[in-house]
Amino acid sequence: MSSSTVAEARPKTEETAYRRARFANLPGGAFIEGKWQSAELTLEVRDPEDGVLLGRVCTSTSQDVERAIAHIDRHLQADEWPLRARRQALETAVLLLGEQAERFANIIAAESSKTINEAEREVRRCIETLRLSAAASEELTGETLGFEDSMAGAGKIGWYSRKPVGIVAAITPFNDPLNLVAHKLGPAIIGGNGVVLKPSTRTPLTGLAFVQLLLEAGVPSGRIAAIVTGPGVSEALVTNERVDLISFTGGPATAERIAAAAGAKKILSELGGNNATVVCADADAEAAADAIVAGAFGVAGQNCLSVQRVYVHISLFDQVLERVTTGTKALKTGPKLDRGTDVGPLISEAEAKRVELWVEEAKAAGATVHAGGQRRNAYYEPTVLTDVPSECRVIREEVFGPVVSILPFIEVQDAVYAANNTEYGLQAGVFTQSIDLALAIAEKLHVGAVVINETSDVRIDSMPFGGFKKSGVGREGVRHAVREMTEPKNTIINLTGAGSRWQQLGGLPGRTTP
């Protein structure tokens, strides 16, 4: 990557929009007790591309967390917020986000790794997530209880409905700073919960602006809070006895610390992946190669569904490798607001250096670099590797960067074994023209989703999303998250005296009982 590519001047009109989005109409640095906080704005938020200061957010305290949770708890107990009003607020949020789509896309592109094209796609997905959240009100209806089919049910009728768990702690990452927030807040709100958002310290401005939008849409200020950072804040949030559920997206190590600290709480966690794609001997090699390039390098590879390992039948290996290498070299790495840019910077120079270290380790162990392999500041070129030993971190762990390894296989069962040989189990892709082979492989892959004739990089916001092993606990996906964030509550009526009362009334004329 040349220095001229990185330093390329932004078009003037987009530069103006970019600067305007950085500082205009952003809310305060935290939202506590129904008010935006403007004191202690000490955490700087900077553009990872050029280090420009975008804004400052609050450094909060554990006491602030307690105040925020207590405020929500009081409102949950005292104030009714009926389902129809919750649905209407989310429907209004859909309209507002549509109207403010450009503003949100520019905020996302400013503080994250996303190009403007990727940021605009995230806004469109968030609109869909909000729409699905409003429609998920149907999940709360429940059903009647089958007392007639039980000896213990004689003389009883009843039903169950779904009720909110209470207060949800929503902890979100930097790589999808809007839609992953919506995947937690939307289901929590339609389910009738209160929610405390803790967005990533690297991309907090998007989450805070989203909270502002929800308030404008009609979400009561007593139902929501947002706190970004501060000494003891995370521990205070996950250990608070009034927090009933923790929804976390991030890494396994952090999830383990949360679980250890939280104790007996319901925890939903999406913890990333080390995703494999298997290209069988009868696959369309060109389609597979193009999909691998598209699936490996989005958001500079900082995507839990990113393609990391590709197992290609030896008969197609050279063809797939050549096309993946050519397609990777054709990608443009550069300024996020340039519409021609395919790959922006990583979220920080430190992360780019980590990816660089892992690739250098692989090279020292015998790996061959076919494209990329170079870093400049926070940028790391999209990189294609072969001959990577299985013990290397780029194979064993989640890279979370723009690196893909292409590896040959002879027998399908060996490819499936290698794909499963990881602590993660989020998603996988399979390319084959045989439906029988596709289904046989899908049955053996130990992952949360198998995508046929596509890579792992596919998510529909309505599907149950999550994985096996260290890829998480529970499932997101709006309807499924609503079920996780609510509990069934039975109502039972004892009709034991109904028979004698019937006799007192003398029955009804007409039919007689034999």
Q: Which of 130, 195, 199 lies closest to 166 in space, CA to CA?
A: 195
Choosing from 304, 381, 392, 484, the catalytic residue is 304
Q: Are strands 472-473 and 275-279 parallel, antiparallel or unpaired?
A: unpaired
Which amino acid belongs to residue 205?
A: L
d(Cα 116, Cα 168) in Å, to the nearest integer? 31
Residue 111 a catalytic site member = no
Q: Are 137 and 143 in contact (CB under 8 A)?
A: no
**Active-site annotation holds for 381:** no
> Cα angle vertex 287, ends 440, 303, to 5°?
80
HSE-CB for 125 with a 13 A CA cutoff: 21
Q: CA 423 to CA 493: how far, in whole Å?
A: 49
Instruction: List the helix and strand counts (H, then E) for the chain.
Output: 18, 24
Q: How far is CA 330 from each of CA 87, 114, 214, 277, 289, rounded to the nearest angstrom?
A: 45, 19, 41, 22, 13
φ, ψ at 361 (rounded to 5°): -60, -45
The CA distances from residue 254 to 238, 257, 353, 427, in Å, are 12, 5, 21, 21
The token pair that represents 127 in the structure block: 């609109």
Provide the β-strand partners of residue 409.
Answer: 313
Q: How many CB atoms lie within 10 A of CB 428?
A: 28
Which is the catalytic residue, given 49, 111, 139, 270? Answer: 270
DSSP state string for 14-73: HHHHHHHHHHTT---SEEETTEEE-S-EEEEEE-TTT--EEEEEEB--HHHHHHHHHHHH
Any idea which residues carry the catalytic annotation? 270, 304
